[in-house]
Structure 1
Amino acid sequence: MANPFHIPGVSVESRALMPLVRGAHTAGVTVLGVALADLGEAETAASRVESIGPAPLASRLGVAALAQGSVDTAAVAATLILEERGAGTRAVRSDPRRVAAAYGSERLFTIDGTPPAVWAALSGFFPTVDGWLRTHANYPHHAKRLTGALGLPDDATREQLGDALARTRATEAVRRIRAAGGVAAEARPGDPAEDRRRTSAGILARQSFAGPRRPWMDGELPLAGIRVLDLTRVIAGPVATRTLALFGADVLRVDSPRLPEIGWQHLDGGAGKRSTLLDLEASGDRGRFDALLADADVIVLGYRPSGLARLGLSPADLVARVPGIVIARLSAWGFDDGDADRRGFDSIVQAASGIAWKESADGRVPGALPVQALDHSAGYLLAAGAMSALRRQRSQGGTHVVATSLRQVAAHLLSSPAGRAVEVDPDLSDQTVSHQSASGLLRYALPAPSYAGSPADFAHPPHPWGSDVAKWLPR
């Protein structure tokens, strides 16, 4: 397997730092230890974590440890910045119940007391002629492509979709759905050899290139004065950028007005951030975006590489255009040519990687993790990578790239020790906060990463989609 994080199109004269861990994902190695090693951080950084038990997330796989470790990695990365800036060493103490609440945030989120409809009718597992298939149709355009691929009307019901899939082989259904631009995956038994290949490449990767050294800004929080362009959606990317906002960054999410968004999901991942709409294929909006980019310290990319390249926003383009920036990349499947442009979501990666069968209750019907753990973990890990890269940029200079994918996280989970019996608290409402906002009275989960003296809440509640001007806040 080729390096799943490779950045094509960058001169070989640039200095590339590959993952520092090879084959280290074995029993007893924590996600915190692996991630810190991948980022080139000192092993002793893990000692600042004061363990108070795993997150109460019951699973056959080691989801509790994955969640706690991913959140703690982000908190440790923030404390390393504070230490470098002269604020001393801070203990990390991320509350397991708060971690569980953050990972299951969609179950706690409400608008004016009303919870959202999390899953669309056409999303889920369906039996086929020869197996099981998982669909994702929460976005209207994906639902339309799904039904069209199977010759169904746009307003097809779940029953009609189930009938069509029950008459079709799983591989043929997936082929047709993907060809139409929809999202689906067979529920596969897993491939340990692929998981070993993926874990040998690390859970995070980094590359560095020549660039100027930028200064820190004044402020009490580790990311005070840092400007982050957020080009992500759904869960993983917004979790990453929300974490950067928690630690003081000015995060501006940029969306296309032509791409539909799920309102509640945007709000659930939007605390502490601002949101603007720009059509990057329109000259006026593109000019405004380029001005934002020129003054950005970090850009987080969650869209498929082909679309970013078409807009001149591939990592290679950004390395050349914005020396000194930190580029954080996120993907469902990785960055190999065969994977990079494949559509995917947490539930789809669970099905394709073998997680769904590992979580099956009876071995006959596939199951799922108790939360969208691949998404959330990838988000916290990517935030940690961005903070580690920022610290290196401020001390050494350079242009830095960090990357992870949901499939890399899945490989780590599948290669880690099995889950333990964890007492699950069904009521995590005390781990939420309510704020009146322009969208109504919002209740959402409190931030999960925590160190001594870190913010207890986000700086402000989520802003409605596209409600902010396309400008940076004054430093």
Structure 2
Amino acid sequence: MPTAPSDTAVTHFLREFWLALGGQIRYLDHLQISGEGALASVFPVTDFATAAIAAAHLAMGELIDQAHGSLPLITVDRRLASFWFSTSLQPQGWSLPAQWDAVAGDYRTADGWIRLHTNAPHHRQAALAVLQTAPERDAVSQAVLRWQASELESAVVAHQGCAAEMRSAAAWREHPQGRAVAAEPLLHRTDPPVGPASAGKGSPPSSSRPEWRVPRERPLHGIRVLDLTRILAGPVATRFLAGFGADVLRIDPPGWDEPGTVPEVVLGKRCARLDLRDPADRAVLEGLISEADVMIHGYRADALARLGLGAERRRALNPGLVDVSLNAYGWSGPWRERRGFDSLVQMSCGIADAGMVAAGSDRPVPLPVQALDHATGYLMAAAAVRGLTERMNNGQGVKVQASLARTALSLMSFAATEAQPSALQPLNPGDYSADIEHTAWGPALRLKPAGQIDGTPTKWDLPANALGSADARWL
């Protein structure tokens, strides 16, 4: 890899990611990093973004190499990588709704700070029920001031809501959940039981489907990806896979919407709805699982098991499935089933506190982008591609688990010792694709891809479409 002012951090993260994925170090020699500048943060967020996107592209390069015997050169632009970790979409003549509802945000408590995540109506209702106040920011602020942070966090969570006390990194290391996460690998891989392969070499899991040939220009053409994820890491993963030709089918429950983020993350996907509490719809999902190549899901630990779709059932339905899942706070410890989002994990694990201290601020200072979500999403995409590469060679599926809290530890593990790079140059019209994307909400421009693979362009066959706009079936 070429030398650049922040190559130390990029190399640190990339090696960690690639080794966690099980990749061979020799592939790193086929990667080039270009561009200058960095997002302003106490943590090397731009280097983190660059390494995560690079890892996903390296996995795709490895697949091409295994299928065609030639490893292409891969280039990642650190400037574009930074902006892809924010938003890739520029609406033309229309606007995205606000990312956060009126109640969501950081609040001062009697002894510290807490973040309330209230974008989903039921999460907002849970917080307001605990605080016994109107859904107005000033009223919420006054109510929160009467609480100790840890007590309010526990109360909101007990009401099935989402909240996180701001803790320091030292406090998180001593916390039972912090200790549990620290003991987990960055990516936890479980290979299938030793036994006959579910399919022949190079075959998808369903014997009724043709053999997968890995086209050079569209390596994932013919691959079916079942997307059971919502904000934000899982959708980033499946968007990446769609960019290389995968048939991505996203499933959401009736009534669910993410107006501020859906146009950003459903690029290249078909979006359908199923009510998994309904036996008929659950049967449809089982059929989709049985015919999928990859399943990426972000349900809390054991949530699918309670629906009768735990890991053993998924394996029984489809022994060749590449099964990639996400949890917010890790897969062990007392918080393994706790609801969580990027902004909450930043508060819990010490990122927001470190930012506050470094900035000399009197309130939490989070990362400039939701880097935990995006980085974890690219790692999940890389895990899916590596799983497909291995299945191409041995016919077996694999299960891989990731978590936002464990990704956070990776970011926090690197202490920058060099001077910070210069600021990123603002986006300009040349950074966007020349083609207009006709989304369901109106015309828009998309950023050019941050990663380039020689001979394998990233392109999405479908524009961003509304949730529930397609049927729950494979093409």
Q: Does the pair score TM above 0.5?
A: yes
Once structures 1 and 2 are overlaid, which stretch shifts more, 355-364 or 401-410?
Answer: 355-364
Alignment of 1:198-347 (within 5 A): 198=181, 201-210=184-193, 211-213=197-199, 214-215=202-203, 216-218=211-213, 219-220=215-216, 221-258=218-255, 260-347=256-343
Alignment partners' CA distance in 1, 2:432 and 2:233: 20
**What is the Cα deviation at residue 109 of structure 1?**
4.2
Relative distance call for 1:369 and 1:428 in structure 2 (3 A) is farther
> Does residue 160 of structure 2 align to residue 181 of structure 1?
yes
1:143-162 per-residue CA deviation (whole Å, 9 max, x = no partner) reads 11111111123xx2000000
Contact 2:36 2:78 in 1 (8 A): yes
The percentage of aligned residue pairs carrying the same residue is 34
Q: Deviations over 1:408-448 (max 9, x none)?
A: 11001111133833322233554344412333223444433
Unaligned runs of 5+ in 2: 1-7, 204-210
What is the CA–CA distance in structure 1 between the aligned matches of 2:429 and 2:129, rounded to whole Å? Answer: 41
Give the aligned partner of residue 468 of structure 1.
470
State the 1:81 CA deviation: 0.4
Cross-structure match for 1:425: 425
After superposition, give the CA deviation of every residue in 1:173-211 in whole Å (9 maximum; x if it has no partner): 111111111111111111374678745633222111144
Shift of 1:457: 3.3
2:360 to 362, 369, 374: 362
In structure 2, C-alpha distance between the alignment counterparts of 1:140 and 1:448, rounded to whole Å: 35
**Alpha-carbon displacement from aligned partner over 1:25-64 (angstroms, at most 9, x marks no partner):** x988622211221222111111111121466322111111
Q: Is 2:377 aligned against 1:391?
A: no
Q: TM-score, normalised by structure 2?
A: 0.88
Distance, in Å, in 1 between the alignment partners of 2:328 and 2:292 is 25
Q: Which of 145, 154, 158 is the matching residue for 2:137?
A: 158
CA contact (8 A) 2:10 2:50 kept: no
Looking at structure 1, the residues matched to 46 and 253 of structure 2 have their Cα atoms a distance apart, in angstroms, of: 35
One-letter identity of the residue aligned with 1:291: G
Q: Deviations over 1:255-312 (max 9, x none)?
A: 1114x21124122101011100111222332232222111101111101123211122
User: Which residue of 2 is the match for residue 377 of structure 1?
Assistant: 375
Output aligned runs, 1:402-441, within 5 Å: 402-418=400-416, 420-427=420-427, 430-433=430-433, 434-441=436-443
The 5 A counterparts of 1:80-159 are 80-86=62-68, 88-105=70-87, 108-110=89-91, 112-153=93-134, 156-159=135-138
| Pair 100,139 (structure 1): closer, same or farther in 2 beyond 3 Å | same
Task: State the AA in 2 paired with 1:164.
Answer: A
Q: Distance in 2 between matches of 1:449 and 1:135?
A: 35
**Which moves more between the two structures, 79-88 or 52-61?**
52-61
TM-score, normalization: structure 1? 0.88
CA distance in 2, matches of 1:140, 1:429: 37
Contact 1:74 1:449 in 2 (8 A): no
Question: What is the alpha-carbon distance in structure 1 between the residues aligned to residue 29 and residue 432 of structure 2?
Answer: 29
Q: 1:169 to 1:197 in 2, by over 3 A?
A: closer
1:35 aligns with one of 2, 13, 17: 17
Any conservation in 2 of the 1:54–1:65 contact (CA below 8 Å)?
no
What is the aligned-residue RMSD (CA, Å)?
2.2
Amino acid across the alignment from 1:102 = W
What letter corresponds to residue 329 of structure 1 in structure 2? S
The answer to whether the Cα contact below 8 Å between 1:58 and 1:423 also exists between their aligned partners in 2 is yes
1 CA distance for matches of 2:160 and 2:91?
31
**Do the aligned partners of 2:93 and 2:442 also contact (CA within 8 Å) in 1?**
yes
Could you say if the C-alpha distance between residues 28 and 267 of structure 1 is closer, same or farther in structure 2, counting changes exceeding 3 Å?
A: closer
What is the CA–CA distance in structure 2 between the aligned matches of 1:429 and 1:185, rounded to whole Å? 39
d(CA) in 2 for partners of 1:91 and 1:350?
A: 35
Change (3 A) 1:417 1:91: farther
Aligned residues: 444
With over 3 angstroms needed to count, the CA separation of the structure-2 counterparts of 1:438 and 1:366, relative to structure 1, is: closer
Structure 1 residues 200 and 281 mapped into 2: Cα distance closer, same or farther (>3 Å)?
Answer: closer
Amino acid at match of 2:407: V
Match of 2:208 in 1: none
Contact 2:47 2:78 in 1 (8 A): no
